[in-house]
């Protein structure tokens, strides 16, 4: 198979669902902007060089429907020849899309592709606008459709993850994110246009544009302050809004090119995908997924966790992140895990998250002058996903 490289990887800020700065900005506008910008920021590359787009989206319906991978390519101004597909592996959709984009280039099916993800949870809330579980199956297997918050409670109860530890973990995530924002360390973020509809004197509305430069959900907290929040999913539970990921709007993309195209066009490789894997686990404790996916992908790559310079472990919930850290014995590597905060502070825009964490991982590898980074997350329905990237 051919060699393939990431030549660009960027993201929009992440903004809170409904109350955030993207709450009136449609998902097509977010993803088409970041796709167009990724091409513009890559020297010697034009839209005409792109062959295909793989776009992750966890709820590809309504404003995110109609094959957004193709719609976004056209809205970005790409020529008719650029095809597109929408990929759904729930929370790992963006990472799956990047892996598929890599595979197309490595197999020789495409020369230059875009892999990315988008989710507007303001426009299409979880679990979608019209969920329809299978009636008979749901009666015998209700765990397949259980709330993600309940799965986090299950992990906390079954594996003795205390409320205090969760709140400490959450406060630390917020502090790291605030420090990174205030010191300009989110170098993968591109200031992104957002829109709002302003009522005029005659009763009509005007669409006005403004720019968003930072993740807007960071809220510095103390463990003591978080300890005052009520349980969000279960009376007497330990999972709260403060130690859970934020529901968020955002988009991110990576551009992947073959070695031959890099040489011909003078494109500079940033990184390559070393290995990618997924694995299933119990649906009612889906948060444990990375505990199984991370060892599997490390074995594929012939590497160990000690070889990783950056670990991006998605913080769907503090309970599941702490469980995975403890089970994988990652405590000695805490200075490598989510060095600028995680989804508790920065948000979890579902189908975008894998693509977002890829951009963050590569930026952080550059910051620490590291070689290998791992991106991993739990996945709704009971799965884990993990990928290893090598910075070049």
CATH number, position 373: 3.40.47.10
- Residue 91 known to be catalytic: yes
**83 bridge partner residues:** 52
In a domain, 143, yes or no: yes
Pairing type for strands 112-120 and 248-258 reads antiparallel
Residue 38 lies in a domain: no
Question: CA-CA distance, 356 to 252, in Å (whole number)?
Answer: 5
Residue 358, in any domain of the structure: yes
Question: Digits of tens for pLDDT over the chain (392 positions)?
Answer: 999 999 999 999 999 999 999 999 999 999 999 999 999 999 999 999 999 999 999 999 999 999 999 999 999 999 999 999 999 999 999 999 999 999 999 999 999 999 999 999 999 999 999 999 999 999 999 999 999 999 999 999 999 999 999 999 999 999 999 999 999 999 999 999 999 999 999 999 999 999 999 999 999 999 999 999 999 999 999 999 999 999 999 999 999 999 999 999 999 999 999 999 999 999 999 999 999 999 999 999 999 999 999 999 999 999 999 999 999 999 999 999 999 999 999 999 999 999 999 999 999 999 999 999 999 999 999 999 999 999 99
CB 42 within 8 A of CB 50: no
In a domain, 321, yes or no: yes
The answer to whether residue 81 is domain-embedded is no
Which two structure tokens, joined as six digits, stand for 141? 């297997």
Name the domain count of the chain: 1
Class of residue 219 by CB neighbours under 10 A (exposed 0-12, middle 13-18, buried 19+): middle
Note down the domain range covering 369: 136-184+273-391
Task: Report the C-alpha gap between 241 and 250 in whole angstroms.
Answer: 20
Task: Return the closest-CA partner of residue 56 out of 281, 370, 375.
Answer: 375
Q: How far is CA 221 from CA 105, 168, 237, 284, 314, in A?
A: 44, 10, 20, 29, 19
Q: Of these residues, 262, 348, 352, 361, which one is catalytic?
A: 348
Q: Residue 241 domain-assigned?
A: no
Tokens of 1: 């198979």
What is the pairing mode between strands 15-16 and 248-258?
A: antiparallel
Marked catalytic residue, from 15, 49, 57, 91: 91
- Partnered with residue 7 across adjacent β-strands are none
57 is catalytic: no
> Is 348 marked active-site?
yes
Structural domain contains residue 302: yes
Which residues are bridge partners to 275 per DSSP? Answer: 388
Query: Does residue 303 sit within a domain?
Result: yes
Q: Is 269 exposed, middle or buried (0-12, 13-18, 19+ CB in 10 A)?
A: middle
What ranges make up the beta strands (E) of the chain? 4-11, 15-16, 52-56, 83-87, 112-120, 192-199, 205-212, 248-258, 271-280, 308-313, 372-379, 383-391
Residue 353, CA distances (Å) to 4, 79, 198, 251, 333 in order: 22, 27, 30, 8, 22
Residue with tokens 């957002």: 194
């Amino acid at each position: 198979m051919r060699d393939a490289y990431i030549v660009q990887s960027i993201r929009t800020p992440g903004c809170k669902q409904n109350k955030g700065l993207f709450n009136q900005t449609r998902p097509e506008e977010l993803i088409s902007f970041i796709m167009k910008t990724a091409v513009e920021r890559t020297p010697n590359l034009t839209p005409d060089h792109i062959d295909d787009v793989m776009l992750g989206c966890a709820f590809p319906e309504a404003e995110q429907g109609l094959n957004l991978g193709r719609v976004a390519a056209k809205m970005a101004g790409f020529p008719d020849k650029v095809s597109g597909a929408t990929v759904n592996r729930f929370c790992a959709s963006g990472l799956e899309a990047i892996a598929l984009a890599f595979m197309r280039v490595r197999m020789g099916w495409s020369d230059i592709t875009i892999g990315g993800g988008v989710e507007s949870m303001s426009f299409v809330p979880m679990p979608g606008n019209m969920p329809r579980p299978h009636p008979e199956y749901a009666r015998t297997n209700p765990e397949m459709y259980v709330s993600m918050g309940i799965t986090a409670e299950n992990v906390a109860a079954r594996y003795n993850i205390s409320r205090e530890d969760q709140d400490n973990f959450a406060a630390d995530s917020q502090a790291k994110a605030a420090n990174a924002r205030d010191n300009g360390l989110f170098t993968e973020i591109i200031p992104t246009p957002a829109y709002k509809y302003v009522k005029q004197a005659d009763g009509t509305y005007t669409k006005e544009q403004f720019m968003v430069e930072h993740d807007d959900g960071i809220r510095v907290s103390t463990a003591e302050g978080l300890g005052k929040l009520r349980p969000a999913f279960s009376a007497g539970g330990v999972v709260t809004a403060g130690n859970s990921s934020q529901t968020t709007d955002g988009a991110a993309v990576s551009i992947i090119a073959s070695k031959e195209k890099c040489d011909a066009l003078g494109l500079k490789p940033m990184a390559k995908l070393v290995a990618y894997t997924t694995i299933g686990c119990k649906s009612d404790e889906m948060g444990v997924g990375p505990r199984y996916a991370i060892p599997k992908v490390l074995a594929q790559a012939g590497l160990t966790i000690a070889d990783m310079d950056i670990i991006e472990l998605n913080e769907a919930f503090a309970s599941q992140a702490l469980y995975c850290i403890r089970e994988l014995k990652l405590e000695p590597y805490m200075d490598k895990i989510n060095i600028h905060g995680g989804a508790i502070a920065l948000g979890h825009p579902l189908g975008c998250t894998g693509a977002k964490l890829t951009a963050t991982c590569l930026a952080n590898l550059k910051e620490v002058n590291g070689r290998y980074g791992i991106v991993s997350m739990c996945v709704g329905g009971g799965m884990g996903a993990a990928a290893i990237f090598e910075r070049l």
